[in-house]
Amino acid sequence: MKTEQVSRLVCITGIGAGDRVGHGGFLFDNLIFPLLLRKVYADKNRQEALVRDSGLDWVLVRPSVLNNKPSRDTIRALTDLSSFHGGTISRADVARFALDQVRDDTWVHRSPLITW
């Protein structure tokens, strides 16, 4: 990326990655995550570490549980998850938020959780 003078990297990881463990709601945190996604999220954590150490301007987008519902006008981007315990967001809204980060500096070097 540096050779091609690309300075921005926007990656989509997940609600249980990095320091966001334990905020997916009871079903996700206690059944889905440990039984089905443990290895997937270990890989996401490695991905996040590589991105952070890349020297690029990065944004790590962590969507809540994905759904196929239509896009909404409002997306909440959170860094304080102390009162957040589960939520959903459409794939279309995740795509829109990720594309917005290519030119918007608001979340550079940060890892927002996005949800409705």
Quick: pLDDT tens for 32-76. Answer: 777 777 788 788 889 999 999 999 999 999 999 899 999 998 999
What does the alpha-carbon distance between residue 91 and residue 21 come to, in Å, rounded to a whole number? 21
- Segment 11-35, tens digit of pLDDT: 999 876 766 555 566 776 777 777 7
Residue closest to 110 by CA, chosen among 29, 2, 11: 11
DSSP state of 72: -
Q: CB–CB of 101/53 below 8 Å?
A: no
Mean pLDDT of the chain: 87
Cα 111 to the chain's mean position, in Å? 7
| Residue 29 vs residues 12, 18, 75: alpha-carbon distances, Å | 19, 14, 22
Residue closest to 115 by CA, chosen among 45, 81, 59: 81
Q: State residue 104's pLDDT score.
A: 96
What H or E segment, with its residue span, contains residue 85? none
